Amino acid sequence: KCYEQKQYKNGLKFCKLILSNPKFAEHGETLAMKGLTLNCLGKKEEAYEFVRKGLRNDVKSHRSDKKYDEAIKCYRNALKLDKDNLQILRDLSLLQIQMRDLEGYRETRYQLLQLRPTQRASWIGYAIAYHLLKDYDMALKLLEEFRQTQQIPPNKIDYEYSELILYQNQVMREADLFQESLEHIETYEKQICDKLLVEEIKGTSEERLQIYEEISKQHPRAISPRRLPLNLVPGEKFRELMDKFLRVNFSKGCPPLFTTLKSLYYNTEKVKFGLYSICCSLFY
């Protein structure tokens, strides 16, 4: 009220009185109000400090109350005052992931990469953004660009470098680049710590399909042994397995059927020549 009536000195007194109480010493709205009042009194540097502190504390209260939308708004307002604040950008990116705002997360991670281009977390975070958006080509490009900056001797095993290689390989497999994935893992095998995972990745598609088939016979009601092979096979083999999978689940009236197939939709070849044509033959 004092602020609206331009009674700035009285408003400042009330702010100081509230903040003098230990229970409210870090109250975000009061700190921000004190900053606005100081700004009107010409004390701009001190005002900015209180506004920043107020916004930070107000955001923390929103986060603790799980009001993530409000917290994101506060972080964006805080960035207007200090656009290159690393802590605010990091916290904002975490909230964006929490809310599945993947486009916003990508933009925030790009800002962090611009501010800290030499940090591993900046590159990995930006690559993860593209990975989550299913832009696998861009994710792989970023990961490879960063990997080339790492000066790790071929005969040395470095845990973080090993995890980077494995993450690269995971993205390749999710992009259905199985041959490239196999060549990649064989190239860097000596520098990877997790030898068991290396052997699992090196297992051929045929071996995996045999394992899934055996499991399916042992557990005929299980969906996963029939669903997972669809990630591995291309072309006519995909059509054959997909046709069986759809017919079995349609006959059972399985409600989440197309939800289980959702991860295949990014593969245009499988959608066009597999899912679409099979569904047409089933329904028309």
Domain ranges of the chain: 221-283
pTM: 0.58
pLDDT for the residue numbered 143: 94
Identify whether the C-beta of residue 39 lies closer than 8 Å to the C-beta of residue 49: no
Distance between CA atoms of 201 and 88, rounded to whole angstroms? Answer: 39
Tens-level pLDDT at each residue, the chain (284 residues): 555 556 566 666 666 666 666 665 566 666 666 666 666 666 666 666 666 666 565 544 444 445 566 667 766 766 776 778 787 788 888 888 888 889 989 999 999 999 999 999 999 999 999 999 999 999 999 999 999 998 888 778 889 999 999 999 999 988 878 778 888 888 898 899 988 888 888 877 668 888 888 998 899 888 888 888 887 777 777 788 888 888 887 777 766 777 888 777 767 777 776 666 666 665 55
Distance between CA atoms of 236 and 132, rounded to whole angstroms? Answer: 29
For 119, phi then psi, to 5°, come to -85, 135
Give the count of beta carbons closer than 10 Å to the beta carbon of residue 203: 11
Burial class (CB in 10 A: 0-12, 13-18, 19+), 273: middle
Mean pLDDT of the chain: 77
Distance between CA atoms of 250 and 68, rounded to whole angstroms? Answer: 40
pLDDT for the residue numbered 90: 85
pLDDT for the residue numbered 164: 94
pLDDT for the residue numbered 17: 66
pLDDT for the residue numbered 101: 86
How far is CA 107 from its chain centroid?
12
Q: What does the DSSP assignment read for 66-134?
A: T-HHHHHHHHHHHHHH-TT-HHHHHHHHHHHHHTT-HHHHHHHHHHHHHH-TT-HHHHHHHHHHHHHTT
Query: Please, what's the b/e burial string for 15-47 (b: 16 or more CB within 10 A of its CB; e: otherwise)?
Result: beebbeeeeeebbbebbbbbbbbbbeeeeeeeb
pLDDT digits (tens, 9 = 90+) for 243-281: 888 888 777 776 677 788 877 776 777 777 666 666 666
